[in-house]
Structures are given as C-alpha cells and as structure tokens.
A and B are shown apart, each in its own frame.
Chain A
Amino acid sequence: MEFARKVGAAVINALSYLGSLAVLAGRAAFSAFIGPFLGRPVRFQSAVEQAMEAGVRALPILSLITFFIGLILALQSAYELRRFGALNYVASAVAISMSRELGPLITAIVVIGRSGSAFAAEIGTMKVSEEIDALETMAIDPVHFLVTPKFIAMVFMLPCLTIWANSMGILGGSLFGVLQADFTFGRYIRASLEALFLRDVASGLIKSFMFGVTITAVGCLEGLSTGGGAEQVGRSTTRAVVVSIFLVILVDLVFTTLFFFLGAH
C-alpha cells in the first residue's frame, strides 16, 4: 500500500514536471513564432549570440567526438561483416546509423553538456541575485526575454549541428574504409550517399529539432525553479544535465518507434 502510494506520487510528480516543460516550451515557441506578428519582436541579437555559443563554438569538440564515433561504428560493424566477406557494407552501416541515430543523439549529448547546463546556471544565478524578479517588476516577461532567444538558437542550431555530426561520422568511417576495406575515399563517400535515403536524414533532423526543444525547456525550467543560494544553482545545473539526457533518450525512443511503424509499410 505504502509502495503503491509512493509510485503514485512519483508518477504525478513526473507528469506535472513534464507539464511545466510543455508550458515553458509552448510559451517560448509562441513568443518566438507568433509574438513577432503581434508586435512583440524577439531579441534577435541575443538569439544570434546564443546560436554562436551553443552552435558554432560546439563545432570543434563535436567534430572530434563524432569523427571517433564514426570510426568506432566502422570497426564494430566490420567485426561482424568481415565474417560474411561483406566489408563493402561498412560504408552504408556507418552512414545509416549515424544519420538515423547516433548523429542526433551524440550532438544532443554534447549540447546538453555545453549549453543545457549553461542555461540552468545562467538563469539560476539570475534567479538567486533577484535579476528575474527585477525583470518582472520592469514588466519584462522573463520567458520572452531569456528563454525565447535560447529556444530559437537551439531549434535552429541542433539540426545544423546534426548534419555536421553526420558528415564527420561518415568521414570517421571512411578512415577505416580506406585503410582496411579497399575503398578509395571517393568511392566510400559515394557508397555512403547511395545508402542514405532522404527519410534517414530527415528522421534524424526531426529528432534533433525535438532534442533542441527538450534541452532548452529543461535547462531553462531548472534555472527558473532554482531556490535561494549558490548551492541551489549547482543543484539545478546537475539536474538540468541528468534530466535532459534522460528525456532526450525518451524522446528518441518515442520518435524512433513512430518512424519504425510509419516506415513499415
């Protein structure tokens, strides 16, 4: 009985948390895409700065990580494929698994570490030093002022980063292809492109868009719900990372399942 009550309370908490995320994301989306038509322009400058920080500055580390992931994928698939003498399928294996799954996912995880945590820390610090209160007393909506620029930056930059990550992964795979599987570089790239259908890339990009929404909502919600004191900022930051990773994987599962059944016919 006690157990059932605990499970019930946990489920209600989780649902109400998801509800808050949806409300926050909805408000940010409203002020990003509908607000400008109602005479409330977005802070474009701030959105560009956020896009630089969350997107462009993530490129070096993201490139390195996804290059390695591509190489690892090539090695792992070759381990099995060489038993059938089918090493020439390495290119398509790497291309498809990068575009459909690992490109979006690794990108999301890198962005959570760099930006999701930074959102929570930045907004949390502002909350603690009464800057959020100051915005409200000045009749400036904190969601419009702080969350919307981040939201715009993230939903544009995550798909862009994902395309980049896919390319770097394929490049990583090509290293193995050229050195171990008798591919020339040109033939490897051609084999990768032939293996890919538009729906593989598109499904990955749709997922990465949703990851962008999720990471922004979690990071900003954790920041906005920071209690008093510096240690609370640390706690919010940690929670933002852990919750984001969990929810990104959950969103991934939901959309992968959806695409599986949509593509089954």
Chain B
Amino acid sequence: MPGIADPTRPSTSLDGPMISLRGVRVSYSGREILHGITFDVQRGETLVILGGSGSGKSTLLRTLVGLEKPTSGEVWIAGKNFSAISGAERDDIRKKIGMSFQGGALFGSMTVGENVALPLREHTKLEDSTIDIMVRLKLDQVGLSGYEQYMPSQLSGGMKKRAAVARALAMDPEILFFDEPSAGLDPIIAAGIDQLILDLKQAFRMTIIVVTHELASAFLIADRMVLINKGDVVAMGTAKEMQNSTHPRVRQFMDRVPEPAVAQELDYLQMLTEQQPKQRSQSPGKSR
C-alpha cells in the first residue's frame, strides 16, 4: 500500500491520468507474461496497444479491466488503485469502464436488446420503459437500430461487435476498452468499426484503449501508441513518433518484417525453386 507521500502514487486530481500503470507484472502458473509495464493514459486520449501474437498485449488488457491480478505493481484507474481494492469499491470502478470483447461475448440466451439492457437492469433502478429507450439509443449509436429482438446468433460478426459496443456503452462509461476490434472482419466492416471508434472519441471525449495488431486501423484511431513485445513496453509515442522511430523492433513491426527464422525459411524455398540468387536476403556483411 503506497503511503500518502509516495512519489510514485499518481495524482488523484481530475487532470491527472485516467489510467496509470506502475511496474505491472503478471504471471500465469509461474511463467511471467508481463515484466513490469509502466505508462499513463490521459483523459480523453485514445491509446492503441500494439503487439504481435504472444506479446502479452491481451494479458495487459485483461489486467487493465481487472480480469487478471498483477503479481506486483499497481493499476490506477480514475484515481483509485484498481489492483488493490475489492468489493463495492472495485465494482464502482468497473461501472465506469466498458469492454468490447474480441468475439463480442454477447449472452447467447438473451436478445440483443436484453444484452444491452443487462448492466442497466443490474446496476440502476430505472423503469423498464426508460431502459427500453436507452437500449434503443445505444443501438442507434452503433448503427443497429431495430435489432433489439434479434438473438446474437442471428447477427453477422461485424454486427455482433457493434452490439457488444452498444452493451459496453450502456452505463455511459468513462473508459472504453476494445480487444482486437477488427479481428476476423472483412476490410469494409473493419473500417466501419474504426469509424465507430472515431465517432465515439469525438462525440463523448471518452478515454479509449484499443488492443490490435492492425497497423492501418491503429494509425487511423490512435492519439498515442504503445508497442508491447515479450511482455515489455518497447516504445511509446504518437503515430508520427512511431512512424519515424529508429528502434529496430518498432521498425520491424511498422515495416512488417518477418522474424529472421522465417526469412531463412523463405530463402530456403527460393533456393529450392531457383528463382533468384540468394544474395538479396543475406546479411550485408556476408554478401559477395
């Protein structure tokens, strides 16, 4: 527990960061996935967390929303040490956040409307008629007007994600989290989801955290980006800073360069098909 004079303790004032990570480490059954992550997210900012498969970006997101407990370090959300509180206090923070899961995670036994209404029914004492209106508003916002009575299984992948966003918006959250919003969607639908995120950002000045590996959508929506590799923050900065970064790992990610082992396999294939002499992909020192 940090004391009051602790300099590492983030400011709790309204202009302090919305989210603050302090040396967050997370382990699964003895294996450490995140090795001390530290960064801040300002109010109203859109942060994109980039990283390859197995980089720990999904674990980082799960830790941010409180589904994983850090083995050490702190997660501060809206001025509260989210990783240390429990019970009602923790639920209060959770009511301020909305999360859109990768597959939507809509409840299959409820209609789309009931899904969106669920947090309102559980956490508010609103009349049914008021809840119905709010559900309609939220579905309008994500472009799903008139789909209240549909079951999630009747929706396409893109519509499921939109419905999930509507549910995440139900409690008018201050922070919105997206896990791979465009994964498994065709480019047009994915662009539609990106546009939805941009609209939300402009309309509500929400703090938005997006985990993705889609560079195009990251550059479109991000105020700042953070690149995660093997459980560490490699680089953090604005889209422009990332684009101009000379950090080898950032360059590799931005320029979509495959891992060396894969490159050698490609060389091997090329050698087999005898299409090209192999100087091109050999390291400069050894060529000729």
Q: Which residue of A lies closest to B88 (CB)?
A: A139
Taking a contact as CB atoms closer than 8 A, the residue among B65, B92, B103 that contacts A137 in the complex is B65
Q: Do A133 and B105 touch (CB < 8 A)?
A: yes
Q: How many residues of A contact B (CB 8 A)?
A: 13
Q: Which residue of A lies closest to B92 (CB)?
A: A139
Question: B49: which A residues are within 8 A, CB to CB?
Answer: none
Q: Which of B118-126, B203-211, B277-285 forms contacts with chain A?
A: B118-126
Q: A182 on the interface (CB 8 Å rule)?
A: no
Question: A140: which B residues are within 8 A, CB to CB?
Answer: 118-119, 122
Q: A15 on the interface (CB 8 Å rule)?
A: no
Q: Do B122 and A137 touch (CB < 8 A)?
A: no
Q: Do A137 and B107 touch (CB < 8 A)?
A: no
Q: CB-defined interface of B118-152 with A at 8 Å, one 1/0 digit per residue?
A: 11001100000000000000000000000000000
A247-B122 Cα distance, complex, nearest whole Å: 34
A139-B108 Cα distance, complex, nearest whole Å: 19
Question: B108: which A residues are within 8 A, CB to CB?
Answer: 125-126, 129, 131
A139-B167 Cα distance, complex, nearest whole Å: 13
Q: How many residues of B contact A (CB 8 A)?
A: 25
Q: Do B105 and A130 touch (CB < 8 A)?
A: yes
Least CB distance from B268 to A in Å reads: 33
Q: B55 on the interface (CB 8 Å rule)?
A: no
Q: Do B103 and A130 touch (CB < 8 A)?
A: yes
A140-B107 Cα distance, complex, nearest whole Å: 13
Q: Do B94 and A138 touch (CB < 8 A)?
A: yes
A137-B171 Cα distance, complex, nearest whole Å: 12
A131-B103 Cα distance, complex, nearest whole Å: 10
Q: Do B102 and A130 touch (CB < 8 A)?
A: yes
Q: Do A136 and B119 touch (CB < 8 A)?
A: no
A138-B177 Cα distance, complex, nearest whole Å: 12
Question: A139: which B residues are within 8 A, CB to CB?
Answer: 90-92, 94-95, 119, 122-123
Least CB distance from B165 to A in Å reads: 12
Q: Do B105 and A131 touch (CB < 8 A)?
A: yes
Taking a contact as CB atoms closer than 8 A, the residue among A134, A137, A145 that contacts B66 in the complex is A137
Q: Which residue of A lies closest to B109 (CB)?
A: A122
Q: CB-defined interface of A113-127 with B at 8 Å, one 1/0 digit per residue?
A: 000000000000110
Q: B99 on the interface (CB 8 Å rule)?
A: yes
- Point out which of B103, B106, B122 has the most chain A C-beta atoms below 10 A from its C-beta: B122
Q: Do A138 and B102 touch (CB < 8 A)?
A: no
A133-B63 Cα distance, complex, nearest whole Å: 12
Q: CB-defined interface of B93-119 with A at 8 Å, one 1/0 digit per residue?
A: 011011101110111100000000011
Question: A125: which B residues are within 8 A, CB to CB?
Answer: 108
Q: Which residue of A lies closest to B122 (CB)?
A: A140
Q: Which residue of A lies closest to B99 (CB)?
A: A137
Least CB distance from A214 to B in Å reads: 25
A126-B115 Cα distance, complex, nearest whole Å: 14
A134-B118 Cα distance, complex, nearest whole Å: 11
Question: Which residues of A from 114 to 166 have beta carbons under 8 Å from B?
Answer: 125-126, 129-131, 133-134, 136-140, 145
Q: Do B101 and A138 touch (CB < 8 A)?
A: no
Q: B272 on the interface (CB 8 Å rule)?
A: no
A139-B87 Cα distance, complex, nearest whole Å: 10
Least CB distance from A76 to B in Å reads: 44
Q: Do A134 and B105 touch (CB < 8 A)?
A: yes
**A and B contact pairs by CB, cutoff 8 A, 12 listed:** A125-B108, A129-B105, A129-B108, A131-B106, A133-B105, A134-B99, A136-B94, A137-B98, A138-B119, A138-B171, A139-B92, A139-B119
Known contacts A137-B67, A137-B97, then 14 further A-B pairs from the complex at CB < 8 Å, ordered by chain A residue: A125-B108, A126-B108, A131-B106, A131-B108, A133-B105, A134-B107, A136-B66, A136-B67, A136-B94, A137-B66, A137-B98, A139-B91, A139-B95, A140-B118
B residues with CB within 8 A of A: 62, 65-67, 90-92, 94-95, 97-99, 101-103, 105-108, 118-119, 122-123, 167, 171
